[in-house]
Each structure stands twice: as structure tokens, then as C-alpha cells.
């Protein structure tokens, strides 16, 4: 008896789109396929599936404008696609390419974005490399300096925690003008996947279905995207959008975790009754639902705010991420607990979602950093009389 929850903020067209995607991922990315890639493929992704998703469904460019070669839909549609990818744990670079790199490129490159977005839109995957060994997600923490100028820009150094770098044909790298600090001098650089001096390393990761990579550059040629030294504002806006989109992806996984727990609680008998009839389990399931409802509301609220150009959109991204990060971990933890012994096995999928939850909680800033931003932003708005 599958769990039926009322759909929330989905028009008929969007619901149909969602259902099409769900069928697509169920048919093409069943968990057996996800596990095959996870256990066997050094690249950590499934190029055939990505090609299919890009060519048949146009997912790679769904939120890229038609002028730039995409489908011209909003972040809402991209969020729906990410939710289904997150539900299935499909090993494709949808978030890294469409949800992260394309969003940042769009806002940093402005009028010149088309050159970079057109290939992304047809499925030539990209990713964004900005975090360094310090693990600071705030772009102000970038220390890698670009060398040279004009047509001769080069990078030497490293970037860490880069999502889906194994699938990316273009790596967008955040570096700074020599001697600059903070937001000043931040630049976005494009490095081709086959550039000289580029090495991609895959460290062992908690999340088995989406690895993060280390990139090393040794006098690697790069091209400046947008105006050199002036990337900060576009970068921050792109990262705010990516944060909301990551939440949309998480929401899809949370839904699956909730459904799995409730199905198990209804079907598993102990003491001659379904364990879901015991309050100890029923209340856990209720708490999963409470976490899920708050999360899908917050995630949707942030996405819609970005689509509507709401001035609070960035703030709402932090509201969502600070809420969903711990909520997804709680849900995956308790869903595993409800499944008892089998929930602790390699064979059951509970741990795959728990691993994804742990990674998602950290990516793009943990709850503490987003809460810190909220407290500071609200205080400074109060001070300036805006709120």
C-alpha cells in the first residue's frame, strides 16, 4: 500500500512532468543500476543515462533559456527534475552541471553566457570548483590566485570537494586576482577537461552515489568567464540558487526515505501485529512526516522566490538549507532505525540515502553557517530599518 500524500504546489502540467520523470528514472536508473555504477565505475557516473536524460528529456538545459540553447523553463522545473534524481540517487551530474555550474555561469557571464551555457544545455556536463582544502563554502575564502591576464591565464594549485568532476567536460574554477582579498578580485575561469596540467583525483567518500573530487592544476590554461575580478555578486547569486536547488534534490530523497519507512512499518509484523501500530514506531513515522512537510515547504519557498525575483530569495535559500540539512539526516537515520536489522545491512538501500543525507547536509554550507547568515542578515536589516 504505497503512501499517498497530497501534492503540494504542483500544477497539472508540472505533476505530469514529475510523473514522466519518475517513470524515466524508475526505468533507467533502478537501484541495481545505481549500485552497478557505485561499485564498478571509476568515473562515478553513468554517461549513458546522462545522455538519455539530456537528449530525450532535455534535462541538462531545462532551466537554460531558449536563446542559449536550453528549454527555457524555470528553477521550479529544474527543481522537480532534481527531486526525481535525488529520489532515485541516479548517478548523473544534473545538480553539478544544471543546478550549480550553469546557475553561476549565467549570473557571472551575463550577456556572454551563451557561449558557455549552450554546450551545457545539450548535455556536455560542467561543474563548479570553488572550495579549497579549508572546506570553506563561502567564496570569500578562496585563496587560489590566477596568473597572467587576457588570453594567457593560468592556474597552479588545487580545488577540493568538487561535485561530479569525473563527468565534467568543462570545469568552472573560482580564483582571485593576485593580492586581492574577500569578494574583491574573485574571478570565474573555465578549464577544459582535457587541459594540460589538470589532474582529477577521486578520494574515498561517504556518499557512494555521488563522489566529490580533488582537482590539481599545474600551469593549467584557463579562460576568464565574464569580467575578471568581478565575479563575486554573480557567484553569490548563483550559489544561492544552487542552494535552493540542492534542497529540491534533497526533498526527493526525503520523500523516498519517508515512503520506505512507512511501507516497512505497515508491512513488517512483530508480536503478531504491524510494527507501525506501535506508538514508538508510529510516532517516529509522524516525525518523519513533520520533517518532510516543513522541508518541502521550505525548499519550494526558496525556489519560487528565486523564480519570482523576490529580494528575499537568498535569505530563503538559507532558511531552506538550514532546515533541510539536519532534517534529511534525521529522516534517513530514523527510517533506517524503523527498518531494524535490515536497515543496517549493505544490501538494503537505507545506508545509501543516509550517506547522501550526510553529504547534502555539508554541501554548500552546513546548518550552522546558514543560521549564522540568517541571524546576521536579519540583524543588519533591522538596524537599517528594512525589516
Partner 1 sequence: MRRADTKEEAAFRAEVREWLEANADRRAVGPPVPLDHSPEAEARHHEAAKVWQRKKFEGGWAAITWPVEYGGRGGTPIQQMIWNEEQATFDVPAGFIAASLGMIGPALMRFGTEEQKAYLPAMLRGDEVWCQLFSEPEAGSDLAAVRTRGEVDGDELVINGQKVWTTSANFAEKGFIVLRTNPDVPKHDGISFALIDMRQPGVEVRPLVTMRGDRHFNEVFLTDVRTPLDHVVNGIDRGWPVTTFVLMNEGAFIGTSSPVDTSAKALIEYASDAGRLDDPIARERLGEAYARDRVLGQLQDRLKAALLDGRMPDVDGSVLKILIAEWGHERAELANWLQGADGLLAGADAPVAGLWQDKVLSRGLMSVGGGTLEVHRNGLGERALRLPKEPRFDRDTAFRDLKTSG
Looking at residue 187, what DSSP letter applies? E
217 in Cβ contact with 191 (< 8 Å): yes
190 in Cβ contact with 225 (< 8 Å): yes
> Which residues, listed in sequence order, are joined to residue 221 by a DSSP beta bridge?
154
Return the biggest CA–CA distance within the chain: 74
CA Rg value for the chain: 21
How many Cβ atoms from other residues are within 10 Å of residue 126's Cβ?
28
Candidate segments 7-15, 110-118, 147-155, 340-348, binder of partner 1 by CB under 8 A: 7-15
Q: State which of residues 28, 278, 337, 362 lies at the interface with partner 1 (CB under 8 A).
A: 278
Question: Residue 3 CB, nearest distance to partner 1 (Å)?
Answer: 6
Question: Residue 9 CB, nearest distance to partner 1 (Å)?
Answer: 6
Measure CA 40 to chain center: 23
* Cβ distance to partner 1 smaller for residue 35 or 370: 370
Question: Residue 304 CB, nearest distance to partner 1 (Å)?
Answer: 6
Determine the Cα–Cα distance for residues 300 and 112; give it in Å rounded to an integer: 30
Q: State which of residues 110, 141, 368, 386 lies at the interface with partner 1 (CB under 8 A).
A: 368
Determine the Cα–Cα distance for residues 306 and 292; give it in Å rounded to an integer: 21
Candidate segments 111-119, 188-196, 287-295, 332-340, binder of partner 1 by CB under 8 A: 287-295
189 in Cβ contact with 152 (< 8 Å): no
Question: Residue 262 CB, nearest distance to partner 1 (Å)?
Answer: 5
71 in Cβ contact with 59 (< 8 Å): no
Q: State which of residues 266, 310, 348, 362 lies at the interface with partner 1 (CB under 8 A).
A: 266
316 binds partner 1 (CB under 8 A): yes
* Cβ distance to partner 1 smaller for residue 141 or 206: 141
x/- mask, partner 1, residues 165-204, rule CB under 8 A, reads ----------------------------------------
Report the relative pairing of strands 212-225 and 146-149 from DSSP bridges: unpaired
- Residues forming contacts to partner 1 in the complex (CB under 8 A) are 1, 3-9, 262, 265-266, 273-274, 276-279, 281-283, 285-287, 289-290, 293-294, 297-298, 300-301, 304, 316, 318-319, 322-323, 367-368, 370-376, 378-379, 382-383, 387
Amino acid at each position: 500500500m504505497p503512501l499517498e500524500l497530497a501534492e503540494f504546489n504542483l500544477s497539472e502540467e508540472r505533476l505530469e512532468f514529475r510523473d514522466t520523470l519518475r517513470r524515466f528514472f524508475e526505468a533507467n536508473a533502478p537501484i541495481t543500476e545505481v549500485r552497478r555504477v557505485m561499485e564498478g565505475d571509476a568515473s562515478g557516473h553513468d554517461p549513458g543515462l546522462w545522455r538519455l536524460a539530456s537528449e530525450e528529456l532535455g534535462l541538462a538545459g531545462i532551466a537554460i533559456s531558449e536563446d542559449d540553447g536550453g528549454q527555457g523553463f524555470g528553477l521550479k522545473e529544474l527543481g522537480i527534475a532534481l527531486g526525481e534524481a535525488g529520489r532515485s540517487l541516479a548517478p548523473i551530474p544534473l545538480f553539478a552541471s544544471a543546478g550549480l555550474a550553469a546557475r553561476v555561469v549565467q549570473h557571472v557571464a551575463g550577456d556572454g553566457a551563451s557561449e558557455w551555457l549552450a554546450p551545457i544545455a545539450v548535455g556536455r556536463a560542467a561543474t563548479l570548483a570553488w572550495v579549497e582544502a579549508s572546506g570553506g563554502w563561502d567564496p570569500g575564502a578562496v585563496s587560489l590566485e590566477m596568473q597572467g591576464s587576457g588570453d594567457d591565464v593560468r592556474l597552479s594549485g588545487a580545488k577540493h570537494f568538487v561535485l561530479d568532476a569525473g563527468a565534467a567536460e568543462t570545469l568552472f574554477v573560482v580564483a582571485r586576482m593576485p593580492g586581492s582579498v574577500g569578494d574583491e578580485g574573485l574571478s570565474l575561469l573555465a578549464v577544459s577537461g582535457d587541459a594540460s596540467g589538470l589532474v582529477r583525483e577521486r578520494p574515498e567518500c561517504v556518499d557512494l552515489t555521488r563522489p566529490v573530487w580533488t582537482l590539481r592544476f599545474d600551469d593549467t590554461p584557463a579562460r576568464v568567464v565574464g569580467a575578471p575580478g568581478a565575479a563575486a555578486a554573480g557567484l553569490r547569486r548563483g550559489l544561492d540558487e544552487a542552494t535552493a536547488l540542492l534542497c529540491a534534490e534533497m526533498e526527493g530523497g526525503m520523500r523516498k526515505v519517508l515512503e520506505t519507512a512507512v511501507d516497512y512499518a505497515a508491512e513488517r509484523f512483530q508480536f503478531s501485529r504491524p510494527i507501525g501500530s506501535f506508538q514508538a514506531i508510529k510516532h517516529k513515522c509522524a516525525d518523519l512526516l513533520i520533517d518532510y512537510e516543513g522541508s518541502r515547504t521550505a525548499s519550494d519557498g526558496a525556489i519560487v522566490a528565486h523564480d519570482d525575483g523576490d529580494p528575499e530569495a537568498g535569505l530563503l535559500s538559507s532558511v531552506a538549507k538550514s532546515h533541510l540539512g539536519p532534517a534529511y539526516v534525521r529522516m534517513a537515520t530514523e527510517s533506517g532505525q524503523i527498518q531494524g536489522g535490515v536497515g543496517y545491512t549493505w544490501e538494503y538501500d537505507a545506508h545509501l540515502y543516509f550517506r547522501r543525507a550526510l553529504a547534502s547536509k555539508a554541501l554548500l554550507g552546513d546548518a550552522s553557517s546558514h543560521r549564522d547568515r540568517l541571524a546576521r542578515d536579519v540583524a543588519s536589516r533591522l538596524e537599517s530599518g528594512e525589516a
